Amino acid sequence: MILTNEKYIGDTLLQKSFTTDALPFCHMPNRGEKPKYYVSGTHQPIIERKLFDEVQQLINLKKPNIDFTPQTKVFSKKIKCICGGTFRRKKCGEKIYWVCRNHDHNNMLKCDIRQIHDSVFQKAFIKLYNKLREHCKAILVPMLRQLELLSERQRSDNAQLAELRKEISEIKQQIYLLTVLNSQGTLDGAYFTKRTQELDRKLLTAQKQLHASLDDKDSERLDNLRKLIRILEKAEPITEFDEIKFGQIVDKITVLSEKEIRFDLIGGIGFTERIKRW
Task: Identify which range of 73-81, 185-193, 202-210, 238-246 contacts Zn ion by CB under 5 A.
Answer: 73-81
Q: Identity (one letter) of the amino acid at 71?
A: Q
**DSSP string covering 160-177:** HHHHHHHHHHHHHHHHHH
83 binds Zn ion (CB under 5 A): yes
111 binds Zn ion (CB under 5 A): yes
**DSSP string covering 16-67:** SEEE-SSSSP-EEE-SSSS--EEETTSS--SS-HHHHHHHHHHHT------S
Task: Identify which range of 10-18, 93-101, 150-158, 178-186 contacts Zn ion by CB under 5 A.
Answer: 93-101
Tell me how far, at minimum, the Cβ of 134 lies from Zn ion, in Å.
32
Number of residues located near Zn ion, criterion CB under 5 A: 7
User: Residue 80 burial by CB count (10 A; 0-12/13-18/19+): exposed, middle or buried?
Assistant: buried
- Collapsing DSSP states into helix, strand and coil, what is residue 216? coil
79 binds Zn ion (CB under 5 A): no
Tell me how far, at minimum, the Cβ of 266 lies from Zn ion, in Å.
25
Task: Identify which range of 37-45, 51-59, 75-83, 171-179 contacts Zn ion by CB under 5 A.
Answer: 75-83
First vs last C-alpha separation in the chain: 27
85 binds Zn ion (CB under 5 A): yes
Among 13, 39, 79, 100, binds Zn ion (CB under 5 A): 100
Tell me how far, at minimum, the Cβ of 113 lies from Zn ion, in Å.
5
102 binds Zn ion (CB under 5 A): yes
| φ/ψ (deg, to 5) at 107 | -90, 130
State how far the Cα of 59 lies from the Cα of 109, in Å rounded to an integer. Answer: 8
> Which residues contact Zn ion (rule: CB under 5 A)?
81, 83, 85, 100, 102, 111, 113
